[in-house]
C-alpha cells in the first residue's frame, strides 16, 4: 500500500515513527505528515526547518511525485504518475478480486446476528447482522482466516415462560399455521398475565428448570419452537441477501460444556459462593457489580454459556480475536465476561465487543416483550415497494423493474446502516436511504450504472471536444484516490467500522461524477487521452462494485 510505503520512507528520513494522514483539502496533496511539528519542541528548531531536513533525506523513489511544506510545517505529498498508473493497471487486472492480498493466516471469529428462537426478526436485528457480515467480508478480503458464527438464542428462562404459556393458552393447530407470530403472541401474553399475577413468573422459571433437567415434554416443545423459528429466520436472511454463516450454533450447543466451566471456576476460586448458594464472580472495580454464574437453584445463565462458548472457540479454532457484534446496552456485561474469562489459564486470545448504537424509529424504540416489534420482513418488503415506485416515476421504460427495485430497495436499507458510524444511534429514515443524492446506496448504484453507460457509448461517439481548464486537476483527484481503497479497507478492519469503507465509496462516487462532468472522456481529443480516461472509468466502476459487494449491496448496470 502506498500509505505504508510513505510511512516507511518518512520514518527513515525523520528517525521517528510517523503517522501518514489524508489532508482535509485534497488540493493540498494526497497524503500529509505532521512529524516536523511533533519534533519541533524536542529538537528546538522551527517545524519548517525540520520538515525541509526530512524532505532532503527522503531517498529517490517512484512513489512520490511532489513533496512540499505547507503552513506551520506540514509535509504534503502528491503521489507520482507512475504510482497512479501502476495501481490503475492492478485494478484492471485483478477486477473482482481487487485488492488481491496474500493470506496472513490470522484467525478471526465474528459472532453476529444471534436472534432469539420463537421471536421474529425485527428491524433492530439488522444492525448486528449487517455490520457483522460486512466486517466478515472485509476481513476475508484482506486475507484473514475468518469464521462467522450465528449464536442462536435457544436457551434460557424465556423458554420456560414460553413453554408455560403454550401449555396454558396455546393450541398446536393455531401455531402450526403461523408459528412465529403465534409464539410471539404467547410470549407477550405471558408478560401481560405476570402483571396481573406475579406468581406466574416463578411458574415459568420452574418450566425452564424442568427443561434443563431433561423433562421429555419440555424438550420436545423446545425443539419444535427451534425448528419452526430457524425456517423463518433463514427465509428473512435469504431476503436480505448475502448473509453467510460458517457455523450456526445455539446456546444449547454448549449444554454439555457448562459443567466443566463451573467445576473449573469453582476449584480455581474464580467463582465464589454468594447469597443462598448462587455462584458469582467478583471484581475489584467497585463500579462493576458481581457477575452471577449459577443461580441459587443450580440453573445456568447467559454468563455460564458464554464462558463455555469462549473456551470452546479457543480450543477449536485457536483465534487471534473473537469479535462480538452486540449493541451498546451489553457493554458492562461483556466487560465483566471478558475479565472473568481472562482469569482462566486457557484464555489466550483477544475478545472484542464491537458495540453499536440503537436503532431508532420515528415513533420510538421497538420492544419484543411488549409486542410492538417492527418486523424486518415487512421493512424489507416496504423498501422494495418504495424503490419500485421511484423507478416507475423516473424511468418507466426500464427493463426488469421488479428485480432492479429489489436490488435498490434492499441495498438502501443495508447501506443506510453501514454508512453511519456504528458508535452513534441510527435513525431509520426512508427518504434519506432511497435518495438519489447524498450518501446513499441509490447514489452509489447510480454512479456505477453511469460508469457502465459511458463504457457502452465509447464506440458510438465520433466527435471530439477540448478539455476545460480544470480537467487536469479532476483527473489527478480521481487517479490518486483509487489506490486508497485498500487503505480504507484496512482502516475499517482495524476500527471495526464499515462506515469508513462506505465514506470512501461515497467520496469516490463524488470525484467520479466531478471527473465525468468536467473532463472529456469518450470525446477526448486524442486516442491516448480517451484510453486513459476510459480506464479510469472502468477502474472506478470496479472499485464501486467491489466495495459495495463487501457491504452486501448489489449493483445494476441500468437504473
Q: Would you state the pLDDT for residue 366?
A: 44
On whether both 147 and 296 belong to a single domain, the answer is yes
44 vs 54: CA distance, rounded Å: 15
Report the predicted TM-score, pTM, of the whole model to 2 decimal places.
0.92
Are both 526 and 472 inside the same structural domain? yes
Q: Is 100 inside a domain boundary? A: no
Question: Counting Cβ atoms within 10 Å, is residue 65 exposed (0-12), middle (13-18) or buried (19+)?
Answer: middle
In whole angstroms, what is the distance from residue 312 CA to residue 307 CA?
9
- How many angstroms from the chain centroid is the CA of residue 357? 13
Per-residue pLDDT of the chain (559 residues; tens, 9 = 90+): 899 999 999 999 999 999 999 999 999 999 999 999 999 989 999 999 999 999 999 999 999 999 999 989 999 999 999 999 999 999 999 999 999 998 888 999 999 999 998 888 888 789 999 999 999 999 999 999 999 999 999 988 889 999 999 999 999 999 988 888 899 899 999 999 999 999 999 999 999 989 988 999 999 999 999 998 998 899 999 999 999 999 999 999 999 999 999 999 999 999 999 888 899 999 999 889 999 999 988 888 999 999 999 999 999 999 999 999 999 999 999 999 999 999 999 999 999 999 999 887 665 544 444 445 678 898 899 999 999 999 999 999 999 999 999 999 999 999 999 999 999 988 778 888 898 888 999 999 999 999 999 888 776 666 788 888 899 999 999 999 999 999 999 999 999 999 999 999 999 999 999 999 999 998 898 999 999 999 999 999 999 999 999 999 999 999 8
Asked whether residue 101 is assigned to any structural domain, the reply reads no
In a domain, 238, yes or no: yes
**DSSP H helices in 170-253:** 172-177, 179-196, 199-212, 216-240
Domain CATH code at residue 512: 1.10.730.10
- Surface-to-core class of residue 220, CB atoms within 10 Å of its CB (0-12 exposed, 13-18 middle, 19+ buried): exposed
Pinpoint the alpha helices (H) of 318-354.
331-341
* Spatial separation of the C-alpha atoms in residues 530 and 387, rounded to whole Å: 35
Classify residue 206: in a domain, yes or no.
Answer: yes
In a domain, 114, yes or no: yes
**Domain assignment of residue 557, yes or no:** no
Q: At what angle do helices 441-457 and 401-418 cross, to 10 degrees?
A: 130
Q: What pLDDT is stored for residue 506 in this prediction? A: 98
The answer on 305 and 157 residing in a single domain is yes
- Domain containing residue 345: CATH number: 3.40.50.620
Per-residue pLDDT at 369: 44
Residues 115 and 540: their CA atoms lie apart, in Å, by 37
Gap between the Cα atoms of 109 and 78, Å rounded: 38
- Identify whether residues 352 and 381 lie together within a single domain: no
Last residue of one domain, picked from the residues 328, 360, 392: 360
The predicted structure's pLDDT at residue 373? 62
Count structural domains, the chain. 3
Are 183 and 50 in the same domain?
Answer: no
Asked if residues 69 and 108 have their Cβ atoms less than 8 Å apart, the reply is: no
- Is 431 within 8 Å of 261 (Cβ atoms)? no
Strands 291-294 and 279-281, bridge-based pairing: antiparallel
Q: Are residues 341 and 230 in the same domain?
A: yes
User: In the listed set 79, 97, 132, which residue is the last one of a domain according to the structure?
Assistant: 79
Residues 453 and 496 in one domain: yes
With respect to residue 392, please indicate whether it lies within any of the assigned structural domains: yes
The SS3 of residue 151 is: coil
Domain interval for residue 310:
107-360
Question: What pLDDT, on the 0 to 100 scale, is given for residue 372?
Answer: 55
Query: Cell 448486528 belongs to which residue?
Result: 128
Q: Assess whether 60 and 159 both reside in one domain.
A: no
Give the CATH number, domain containing residue 40: 3.30.1360.70
Residues 313 and 242 in one domain: yes
Among 29, 63, 79, the domain boundary falls at 79
85 lies in some domain: no
Please tell me whether residues 139 and 184 are part of one structural domain.
Answer: yes
Same domain, 344 and 449: no
Let me know whether 168 and 300 are in one domain: yes
DSSP states of 104-115 as a string?
---EEEEE---P
Amino acid at each position: 500500500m502506498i500509505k505504508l510505503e510513505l510511512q516507511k520512507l518518512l520514518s527513515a528520513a525523520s528517525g521517528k515513527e510517523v503517522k501518514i494522514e489524508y489532508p482535509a483539502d485534497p488540493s493540498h496533496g494526497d497524503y500529509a505528515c505532521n512529524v516536523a511539528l511533533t519534533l519541533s519542541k524536542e529538537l528546538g528548531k522551527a517545524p519548517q526547518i525540520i520538515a525541509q531536513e526530512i524532505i532532503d533525506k527522503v531517498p529517490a523513489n517512484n512513489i512520490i511525485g511532489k513533496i512540499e511544506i505547507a503552513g506551520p510545517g506540514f509535509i504534503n505529498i502528491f503521489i507520482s504518475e507512475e504510482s497512479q498508473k501502476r495501481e490503475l493497471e492492478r485494478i484492471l487486472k485483478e477486477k473482482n478480486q481487487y485488492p488481491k492480498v496474500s493470506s496472513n493466516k490470522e484467525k478471526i471469529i465474528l459472532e453476529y446476528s444471534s436472534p432469539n428462537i420463537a421471536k421474529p426478526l425485527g428491524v433492530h436485528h439488522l444492525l448486528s447482522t449487517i455490520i457483522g457480515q460486512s466486517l466478515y467480508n472485509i476481513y476475508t478480503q484482506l486475507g484473514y482466516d475468518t469464521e462467522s458464527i450465528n449464536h442462536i438464542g435457544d436457551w434460557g428462562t424465556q423458554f420456560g415462560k414460553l413453554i408455560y404459556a403454550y401449555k396454558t393458552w396455546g393450541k398446536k393447530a393455531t401455531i402450526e399455521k403461523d408459528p412465529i407470530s403465534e409464539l410471539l403472541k404467547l410470549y407477550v401474553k405471558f408478560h401481560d398475565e405476570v402483571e396481573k399475577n406475579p406468581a406466574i413468573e416463578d411458574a415459568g422459571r420452574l418450566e425452564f428448570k424442568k427443561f434443563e433437567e431433561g423433562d421429555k415434554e419440555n424438550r420436545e416443545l423446545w425443539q419444535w419452537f427451534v425448528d419452526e423459528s430457524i425456517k423463518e429466520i433463514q427465509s428473512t436472511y435469504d431476503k436480505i441477501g448475502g448473509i453467510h454463516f460458517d457455523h450456526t450454533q445455539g446456546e444449547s450447543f454448549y449444554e454439555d460444556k457448562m459443567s466443566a466451566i463451573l467445576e473449573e471456576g469453582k476449584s480455581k476460586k474464580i467463582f465464589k459462593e454468594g447469597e443462598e448458594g448462587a455462584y458469582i464472580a467478583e471484581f475489584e472495580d467497585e463500579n462493576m457489580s458481581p457477575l452471577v454464574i449459577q443461580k441459587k437453584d443450580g440453573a445456568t445463565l447467559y454468563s455460564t454459556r458464554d464462558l463455555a462458548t469462549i473456551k470452546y472457540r479457543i480450543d477449536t479454532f485457536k483465534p487471534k480475536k473473537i469479535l462480538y457484534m452486540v449493541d451498546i446496552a451489553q457493554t458492562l456485561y461483556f466487560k465483566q465476561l471478558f475479565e472473568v474469562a481472562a482469569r482462566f489459564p486457557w484464555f489466550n486470545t483477544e475478545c472484542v465487543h464491537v458495540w453499536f448504537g440503537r436503532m431508532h424509529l420515528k415513533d420510538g424504540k421497538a420492544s419484543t416483550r411488549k409486542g410492538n416489534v417492527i418486523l424486518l420482513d415487512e421493512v424489507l418488503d416496504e423498501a422494495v415497494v418504495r424503490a419500485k415506485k421511484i423507478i416507475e416515476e423516473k424511468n418507466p421504460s426500464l427493463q426488469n423493474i421488479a428485480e432492479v427495485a429489489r436490488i435498490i430497495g434492499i441495498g438502501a436499507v443495508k447501506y443506510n446502516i453501514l454508512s453511519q458510524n456504528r458508535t452513534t444511534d441510527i435513525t431509520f429514515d426512508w427518504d434519506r436511504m432511497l435518495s438519489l443524492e447524498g450518501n446513499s446506496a441509490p447514489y452509489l448504484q447510480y454512479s456505477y450504472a453511469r460508469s457502465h453507460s459511458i463504457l457502452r457509448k465509447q464506440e458510438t461517439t465520433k466527435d471530439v471536444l477540448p478539455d476545460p481548464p480544470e480537467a487536469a486537476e479532476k483527473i489527478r483527484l480521481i487517479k490518486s484516490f483509487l489506490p486508497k481503497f485498500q487503505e480504507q479497507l484496512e482502516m475499517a478492519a482495524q476500527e471495526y467500522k464499515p462506515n469508513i469503507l462506505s465514506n470512501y465509496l461515497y467520496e469516490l462516487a463524488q470525484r467520479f461524477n466531478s471527473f465525468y462532468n468536467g473532463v472529456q472522456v469518450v470525446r477526448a481529443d486524442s486516442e491516448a487521452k480517451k484510453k486513459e480516461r476510459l480506464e479510469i472509468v472502468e477502474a472506478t466502476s470496479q472499485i464501486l462494485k467491489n466495495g459495495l459487494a463487501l457491504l452486501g449491496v448489489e449493483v445494476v448496470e441500468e437504473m
